[in-house]
Amino acid sequence: MGIIKEYDVIMDCLDNATTRYLVNDCCVLLDKILVSGAALRMEGQVSTYHYKGGPCYRCINPSPPDPDATLNCMEAGVLGPITGVVGSLQAAEAIKIIATGESAYSGKLMLVSPWDGIMRTVQLRPRRSECVVCGDSPTVTAPVDYVRFCGSGKDKVFKDASAEDERITCQELHSQSYR
């Protein structure tokens, strides 16, 4: 929480639930705006949480996903330019919030698939009054054990993606189905 308290707007681009819940909760507890981004395979998303009465991440995802049913960037891969698109959208959103006090993505989720040439925004459900961290009577008033909460007790061991046997050629990418 020490790093977060120094800033007005927090930006993340995380690939695991454990850290997403940690950053969200710290932002809510410190009353900070969270501009969240994610990229996986050939798609990305951006949303702004805990802004002007909008939902926090836990309002949208009250319970973490099954750790065995989710993938991270190391396991599923991510096309490099996707992170650039997501990061650019996040940067523009943070600048807009700081400069104008307005948000393009509070209560919304921008979905991007540059691979398919698709960008769309979907409306998220509103802030939940029963949310355990930002609700009317929060029960999470300090950071918790997020590894235990997310059920990822044995965090996945990551291999070195720079190793030659972990890289693929353009032809291999083309032959693989990422859908």
pLDDT digits (tens, 9 = 90+) for 70-122: 777 778 788 889 999 999 999 999 999 999 999 999 999 999 998 889 999 99
pLDDT for the residue 178: 53
**Which residue from 65, 59, 23 is spatially nearest to 40, judged by alpha carbons?**
65
Q: Which uninterrupted H or E stretch holds 43? A: strand 43-49
Residue pointed to by tokens 């509103």: 126
CA distance 75 to 156: 10
Reported pTM: 0.83
CA distance 114 to 41: 11
Judged by DSSP in three states, 26 sits in helix
pLDDT for the residue 154: 45
